[in-house]
Amino acid sequence: MIGRRKFFGVAAASVAVAHTVHGELAQAADAVARSTSPGQAADAMDKLARVAPRGMQGRHVRLGTLDLESQQDFTMAFRRMQAAQIRKASMAALDRLLEAEGLDPATPLTKDQMRELVMKDPAINIASKTWIANQQVTWKTLYDHYHGNYDRYMSELESADKAGPGALVLAPQMAIPDYLRHEIHIQPGGYVGDPFAGYVYQYGTNSFYVGNRGHNEQDEIHRAAAARMPLPKDGKVKRILDMGCGIGQFTAALKQRFPDAEVWGVDVGGPMVRYAHMRASKLGIGANFAQKLAEDTGFPDGHFDIVTSYIMHHEVTAAGTLAIIDEARRVTRSGGVYYPLDFNTGGTQMPAHQMYGRWWDHRWNNEVWSFEYHSVPFNEEIGKRGFSEVKGAAPLLQGFGVRHFVRSA
Amino acid sequence: MAAPDPKRPTYTAEAIPSDVKNGLFLGNPALDNLMSCMIAMGAEVWATKRRLHVMEAVMAQKGIEADRDRFVDLTLGPLANEAYRPVGSNFPKR
């Protein structure tokens, strides 16, 4: 008989022992090492095979079951096909609608005009429905797996809470503003409502990256952005702050680039920073994480040499964005760098193809505040708040806005 | 699915649910549901197919001749037994 455990269990166990040192898994691995008879060893191996992850590929922890990995593999492939074919068909439908209405595609439209134009078109609705259904399968399969193995994953988080090399600060009594409690990307529970939000986000966004910017299982995209982070003129980088850090991929990448610096990632989502800390700890990266609001970090004035954020601002209100820029000014030292990485802002009216994508993302991907973000003349507002813009700077990532600012004296 | 243990802190807060799940796109709730079913079914079919691919790869790597021979010996090996004697006549009486 060919048993799955026979082929995968032993290999997974050896990888797990090498990479993971926490809780239930460590106990199971220890029991294997201490076994003194074949019977004991068999029992211990059986227990280890039940709790061990399925190994790692670089820093990518393989999903807990082959079925779940395959479901994610399917939804990733569907996402790519949807973008290349179904979405393309919906764009052709949009062109037909524009022609029927006698509208020049270059004419700027508002999101309300776009909604009225496209809401009843069958090809556009098929594109919307298929994308949403696929996104729901992505989230639901992940959500069900983590909640179906509640004790295993909660134990993993708990056993890592006090692990080093970095610190974790959680704030269970924190009042979370309503505007930050939405289910962004229709992820169940969003970033604040699901104890396993970090796990679910990590694997759900892996397929987003493959479909949009390339593989990121090894944090390739975050590390590429961190590698381009400009330094203050004096070259001194002792402390770095990553605002709205999510699961800490950018924070960890910054710590790896600046190993001697004290690096902090802050995020409103307790489950997100908890997972960020666990992941960084397991990778041996000494970044620190705290559950805090980006607009109220509590750090001393002028504390940081570099203040940054990775695609956070389009998830907050216009007022939130301005308050966050004010906080960045407060905590950035004179001559320090402020680089909030996010999409180019384009206002609230734009040509039809662009507006279709933006409205669609706002409405069906539940990017609740994206139009508020686009309503803010971002660089101009930063320039009004104690920063001077470095002209001719390169983007940290192609296709994103250039936001290289220096804190004025 | 096990119920969460209220004694274990989760550091969560109540989320505001998205209304996207209530959108009707195809003119009939049955059609919308069927489309959702089709995509979910696609994920399940692919999971099964991928499992078969893994098994095929493992079999190609490990070979199954030994297991096949064990299987044939266990199930059809008894056909070679020629030592039978009728139990009602000259079979040893004990």
pLDDT of residue A245: 98
Is B26's Cβ below 8 Å from some Cβ in A? yes
* B34/A contact by beta carbon, under 8 A: no
Query: Given CB atoms, is B75 within the 8 Å cutoff of chain A?
Result: no
Burial of A214 (0-12, 13-18, 19+ CB in 10 A): exposed
| Contact list, B38 vs chain A (CB under 8 Å) | 133
The distance of A214 to chain B (nearest Cα, Å) reads 22
Mean pLDDT on A365-387: 96
Quote ipTM for the complex. Answer: 0.82
Q: What is the mean pLDDT of chain A?
A: 90
Looking at the complex, report in whole angstroms how far the Cα of residue A64 sits from the nearest Cα belonging to chain B. 14
Residue A405 to residue A325: CA distance in whole angstroms: 11
CA distance A223 to A216: 9
A125, pLDDT greater than 80: yes
Q: pLDDT (tens digit, 9 = 90+) per residue, A59-99? A: 888 999 999 999 999 999 999 999 999 999 999 999 999 99
Domain A178-188+219-349+365-407 has CATH 1.20.80.30: no
User: Domain spans of chain B?
Assistant: 28-77
Of A134, A144, A195, the CB nearest to B39: A134
Q: What is the pTM of this model?
A: 0.85
CB-based contact, A317 to chain B, within 8 Å: no
Per-residue model confidence (pLDDT) at position B20:
96
Q: Are A374 and A301 in contact (CB under 8 A)?
A: no
Token representation of residue B12: 């969560």
Question: Pick from B15, B35, B62: which is nearest to A181 by CB?
Answer: B15
Q: pLDDT tens for residues A152-170?
A: 999 999 999 999 999 999 9
CB contact under 8 A, B47 and A186: no
Torsion sign, CA atoms A57, A58, A64, A67: negative
pLDDT digits (tens, 9 = 90+) for A12-60: 333 343 344 445 556 666 777 777 877 787 777 766 666 556 888 888 8
**What's the average model confidence in pLDDT over B17-44?**
96
| Total residues found in chain A within this entry | 409
User: What's the pLDDT at A261?
Assistant: 98
- Measured CA to CA, the distance from residue B94 to residue B87 in angstroms comes to 11
Residue A343, CA distances (Å) to A106, A162, A219, A394, A404 in order = 21, 35, 19, 14, 14
Nearest CA distance, A203 vs chain B (angstrom): 15
Q: Where are the domains of chain A?
A: 4-57, 178-188+219-349+365-407
Residues 6+ apart with CB under 8 A from A168: A161, A162, A273, A274, A277, A288, A289, A290
Instruction: Classify residue A126 as exposed, middle or buried by CB count within 10 Å of its CB (0-12, 13-18, 19+).
Output: middle
Half-sphere exposure of residue A28: CA atoms within 13 angstroms, side-chain side: 25
CB contact B66 to A (< 8 Å): no
- Helical spans, DSSP H, in chain B: 29-62, 65-76
Which 339-358 residues of chain A touch chain B by CB within 8 A?
Answer: none
Q: Which residue of B has its CA nearest to A187?
A: B18
Whether residues A181 and B26 touch (CB distance < 8 A) is answered with no
Alpha-carbon distance A239 to nearest alpha carbon in chain B (angstroms) = 27
Tell me if A133 and B39 make a contact (CB, 8 A cut-off). yes
User: Which of the residues B18, B21, B24, B59 would you substitute to probe the A interface, choosing the one with the greatest number of A C-beta atoms within 10 Å?
Assistant: B18
Mean pLDDT confidence for B79-85: 85
